[in-house]
Amino acid sequence: MNQTFTLKEKTKQIFVMLIPILITQLGMFSMVFFNTIMSGKYSSSDLAAVAIGSSIWSPIFTGISGILLAVSPIAAQRFGEKRGREVASVVRHGLYLSLMIALVVIVLGVFFLDPILDKMNLPSAVHETAFDYLAGLSYGILPLFIFNVLRSFIYALGKTRVVMYILLLSLPINFFLNYVLIFGYWGFPELGGAGAGYATSITYWVITAMTVFIVKTQDPFSSFSVFENLRHFSFEECKEILKIGVPMGLSTFFETSMFAVVTILLSKFNVTTIAAYQSALNIVSFLYMIPISISMAQTVLVGYEVGSGRYKDAKSYSWLGIYLAILIAIITGVFVVLFRYQVAGFYSNETEVINLTAHFLIFALFFQICDAIQATAQAALRGYKDVNLAFIMTLIAYWLICLPVGYGLANFTDLGATGYWLGLTVGLLAAGIALSWRLLYIQKYKFIDTQKLNAL
């Protein structure tokens, strides 16, 4: 990363970081896509099992990833302050935390996975495959968490293309492993849907091995000597990561679980409504990768400028990211609304499902704009390491506004399932307004532009 002086330079820098992050996110989405599609080709029972396994794992993974991704803003600020040794120390302690958290998740899985699946009253074949899928996935938990820490370090230095290349190289490996382990080709065992879990785990080990090799041998990463002095451990360093990471992780967890709860509440409606909602949600979730990619770049850039003491530039990056996310949300939202029937047609051949999905997608424009605002405003606050109040704001917005408003509109008006879309939109808008207010507040009163003060 370099210091920038004009809006044009800042826009160019954010795009240089953004595009590789977006491709990386698409790569990670593709792995889930491969798991789902190939399991479905094997059998509908295995598809259901993989879908259930993914629904259990996804909130846990996104929440814990939020904790470990706290390495990014902390390391970016230290990098901006030109404190290279402390950058390495932050990364090392992130690796320690990834090991400890992975062990906790695995142990909890041993004791609670079977009881959770029992409570779901699944057919025995689905239950067994879902368990085996998650068991296979568990072998990849440790390398996945290690990769997230190293990815945060790489992002903190602004070298986002490196991670993109690693993910792109891993996709053919993941596709091949899914193919041979699910269907049992070329002498490999035929594991069905469970094979998707093992394929994903092996891929995570490959991704992590490539990342470790690059961090150890390639400049500028090798100059930080991240893997040296591993015996040194400080509770204070871990505490700093957790202080930033836990609110980040919980915010992500509560947002992800909110959508899971809405899905459960929708189960009272007919199959057509559930299918249409899932189709529409899948579309907006896919498009959400754009603001989430902007937000990841934004957190690093804001953190880097804050660490360098250039608060004016940090402020510029904060609002540039928000405006850019809103603009892209409007463009993609209008496109989806205009071509909603064609887009819905990708997900179903049934006229009723297509029509209802298209109806839900009308609300996608407003939903995406509100989601873009809250995601990027929250990302800017993370760059300032201001996360505690933001966590409380998002908790209130997601669970005390989104769900009650959606439930009330869906069950006590004639809106039906549409009420949940309106509830989600209202809650995300509330989060966006609150987080933007908090951002304005800290920029005005906590991170004051000293050059402006001196001029006065």
Total-model pTM? 0.81
On the 0-12 / 13-18 / 19+ scale of CB atoms within 10 A, 431 is buried
Q: What angle do CA 246, 248, 253 make, to 5 degrees?
A: 90
User: Within a 10 A sphere around the Cβ of 27, how many other Cβ atoms?
Assistant: 19
Q: What angle do CA 250, 274, 22 make, to 5 degrees?
A: 50
The 3-class secondary structure across 24-57, one letter per residue, is HHHHHHHHHHHHHHHHHHHCHHHHHHHHHHHHHH
Task: Supply the DSSP string of 376-428, one letter for each residue.
Answer: HHHHHHHHTT--HHHHHHHHIIIIIIIHHHHHHHHHHSTTTTHHHHHHHHHHH
Residue 190 tokens, joined: 């035929």
Return the DSSP state at 309. T
Return the DSSP state at 348. -
Residue 144 tokens, joined: 């996945």
Residue 398 CA to chain centroid, in angstroms? 16
Exposure string (b/e) for 75-103, b if CB count within 10 Å is 16 or more?
bbbbbbeeeeebbbbbbbbbbbbbeebbe
Where residue 415 falls (left for φ over 0; alpha for ψ -120 to 50; beta otherwise) is: alpha
Q: How many residues does the chain have?
A: 456
Nearest to 394 by CA among 432, 345, 443, 422: 432
Q: In this structure, are residues 126 and 45 in contact, taking their beta carbons and an 8 Å threshold?
A: yes
Return the DSSP state at 228. S
Nearest to 156 by CA among 324, 301, 14, 36: 301
Return the DSSP state at 223. G
Q: In this structure, are residues 74 and 90 in contact, taking their beta carbons and an 8 Å threshold?
A: yes
* Residue that is written with structure tokens 């568990």 in the block: 138
What pLDDT is recorded for position 435?
94
Task: For residues 382 and 248, give the distance between their C-alpha atoms in angstroms, rounded to a whole number.
Answer: 8
Task: For residues 110 and 118, give the distance between their C-alpha atoms in angstroms, rounded to a whole number.
Answer: 14
207 three-class SS? helix
On the 0-12 / 13-18 / 19+ scale of CB atoms within 10 A, 213 is exposed
User: Could you read off the pLDDT tens digit of each residue along the chain, which spans 456 residues?
Assistant: 667 768 788 888 888 888 888 888 888 777 777 777 777 777 767 777 777 777 777 777 777 877 888 888 888 878 777 777 778 888 888 888 889 888 988 888 888 887 877 776 767 777 888 888 888 888 988 998 999 889 888 888 888 888 889 988 988 998 899 888 888 888 888 888 888 889 989 999 999 999 999 989 888 888 878 787 777 777 887 888 888 888 888 888 888 778 777 776 776 777 677 777 777 877 787 888 889 889 888 988 888 888 878 889 889 999 999 999 999 999 988 988 898 888 888 766 778 878 888 888 888 788 889 989 999 999 899 888 888 888 899 889 988 998 899 889 988 888 888 888 898 889 999 999 999 999 999 998 887 765 554 444
